[in-house]
Amino acid sequence: MTTRPGTINTGTLESRIGPLTYEVGYPTAGTTERIFDELDFQRACQAYVWAIPAMGFWALRRAMREQLGTPDGQMCTFLNFADKAGMLTPNITTAYGFVFWDLATQGPLVIEAPALPTAGGVLDIWQRPVTDVGQTGPDGGKGGSYLILPPGGEAPAGAEAYRTFVSPTNQVWFGTRGLDPDPAKAVAALAAHKLYAWDQRHKAPALTVNTVGGRPWDSAQPADMSYFAGLADLLSSEPTEERDRFFMAMLRPLGIIPGQPFAPDARQTAILSQAAVVGHAMSQALDYESRLPEGQVSPDANWRRVVATATDQRGPGFEQLDERTLWFYEAIGNSVGMQGKTLGAGQVYLGLHRDADDEFLNGGVNYKLTVPADVPVAQFWSITAYDNLTRGPVVSDTRKADVSSRQDIVVNADGSTDVYFGPDSPGAELERNWIKTNPGSGLFLYFRFYGPLQPYFDNSWTLPNPRRVG
């Protein structure tokens, strides 16, 4: 093949996508087709990763509407293990209440928060906090009224008595958790919220509250063509932000253009279907084998601070991409209270995928984790096991996926607590400290600190890596 520096004159060039053939410097028709297919495939894979936070909420919203009978504007409560089995990395200990709202079709949203122990907030469709509500919000748990406006919205007359915030997106999510140790009071605190349209403020309707009731459901992001169909649907009602304009350009040749029907041809469908598989694999790798230097608790610990993304999803000089994939691939929600910056309030998360031997956690292996005494929390701590494929709680015949300081557990004489997880029972009394896992499945752990105290922040209290036993 004859070439000049920086040029391809004629002949065939071997590349990672196969042979590329040129005639007098022009690519042949087959080469151009191959290049465009690869170009669009790469763009689709990156679009999959880019859209992970929004598609996490899209999948949850679809599940609430289609599987749990909860349309926008109504609350669905998730109270126990069975209710939360379809959710990405839920805490089993606290009761949740979720509401989706469309500011474009339903109007500005009013939230009346009760003066009860709750913590939550409003997030836009990209899972960026609009405001915290409750103990970590401006009301500090004392209750108050919030007004959420659509993109570009201005406070209407009469809004002076409301804490007013503008959402960057039309689709928003309100989520809160009841923190009272009495389960009945925690559930009552969820239902005590009022959510309604601004135009209904003079005669506000009662909040409709639905329960899962143990029904099976699923809210993980799809790993097939439906991912991109959902993305097209989600983007059709949202303004394009400056940070996302290049991604919107990359989606156009794939048939995803806001304002136009999503009707991919056979070529686009084949590319998007393959990209969903590879994009999902990329997201999983970014999460489970993180390349980010941030988050490591200590050099000898496999525990990581798993909320890797800032609330605005921006880094110094760049927009966070891998950081938000690490969190939102396996979880939903982010807030000021989850950033671990408030002493004695909010919550922080440590995650773990590997044991003391630096091997991935395996559902067919028995492990022991000794939680040191004096866990630095103002409220409580919990440890939960999740299936690494569903990213939901590990489901076994015990119907138990967590051990918590709010449970009746066995505590050692020195104040430490031994937590066991694996397929085999550690013994009758210690079953209170046991999470049964499933052979043939992988898993990962979250350790949650509710109301973290100073020893957490200065690393004077740390968690060891779990060790294999038996």
Q: Which residues pair with 319 in a beta bridge?
A: 314
Residues 128-161: pLDDT tens digits? 999 999 998 999 999 999 999 999 999 999 999 9
The residues, any chain, with a CB within 8 Å of residue 206's CB and separated by 6 or more, are 194
Mean pLDDT of all residues in 325-344: 85
Kind of pairing, strands 367-371 and 417-422?
Answer: antiparallel
- Indicate whether 7 pLDDT > 80: no
Task: Say if CB 49 and CB 286 are below 8 A apart.
Answer: yes
Helix 29-50 vs helix 226-235: angle between axes, to the nearest 10 degrees? 70
| Alpha carbon distance 315, 140 (integer Å) | 28
Q: Does domain 304-468 match CATH 2.60.120.600? A: yes
Measured distance between the N- and C-terminal CA atoms of the chain, rounded to whole angstroms: 64
pLDDT score of 339: 73
pLDDT band at 335 (very low <50, low <70, confident <90, very high): confident
- Indicate whether 88 pLDDT > 90: yes
| Alpha carbon distance 405, 103 (integer Å) | 40
User: What type of residue sits at position 107?
Assistant: G
Residues 370-401: pLDDT tens digits? 999 999 999 999 999 999 999 999 999 999 99
Task: Say if CB 100 and CB 59 are below 8 A apart.
Answer: no
116, with CB counted inside 10 A (0-12, 13-18, 19+), is buried
pLDDT band at 365 (very low <50, low <70, confident <90, very high): very high
Task: Say if CB 227 and CB 94 are below 8 A apart.
Answer: no
Q: How far is CA 4 from CA 1, 9, 25, 139, 162, in A?
A: 10, 8, 11, 69, 68
Q: How far is CA 425 from CA 40, 136, 370, 428, 455, in A?
A: 51, 39, 16, 8, 32
430, with CB counted inside 10 A (0-12, 13-18, 19+), is middle
Which residue has better confidence, 306 or 148?
148
| Alpha carbon distance 131, 165 (integer Å) | 7
The residues, any chain, with a CB within 8 Å of residue 229's CB and separated by 6 or more, are 262
pLDDT band at 197 (very low <50, low <70, confident <90, very high): very high
Q: What's the per-residue H, E or C state across 370-403?
A: EECCCCCEEEEEEEEEEECCCCCECCCCCCCCEE
| Alpha carbon distance 149, 170 (integer Å) | 9
pLDDT score of 143: 97
- Indicate whether 114 pLDDT > 70: yes
pLDDT band at 4 (very low <50, low <70, confident <90, very high): low
Q: Which residues pair with 458 in a beta bridge?
A: none
**CATH of the domain spanning 65-211:** 2.60.40.1610
| Alpha carbon distance 99, 56 (integer Å) | 15
- Indicate whether 9 pLDDT > 70: no
Q: What is the DSSP letter of 310?
A: -
| Alpha carbon distance 138, 427 (integer Å) | 47
pLDDT above 90 covers a percentage of the chain that reads 89
Report angle CA 271, 325, 122 to the nearest 5 degrees: 115
Q: What is the DSSP letter of 360?
A: B
Q: In the chain, which segments carry CATH 2.60.40.1610?
A: 65-211
- Indicate whether 1 pLDDT > 50: no
- Indicate whether 336 pLDDT > 90: no
Would you mind telling me the total number of residues written for the chain in this entry? Answer: 470
3-state helix, strand, coil in the chain (%, to 5): 25, 25, 45
pLDDT score of 6: 61
pLDDT above 70 covers a percentage of the chain that reads 98
- Indicate whether 266 pLDDT > 50: yes
pTM, full prediction? 0.94
Q: In the chain, which segments carry CATH 2.60.120.600?
A: 304-468
Q: Mean pLDDT of all residues in the chain?
A: 94
pLDDT band at 345 (very low <50, low <70, confident <90, very high): confident
- Indicate whether 3 pLDDT > 60: no
pLDDT score of 214: 84
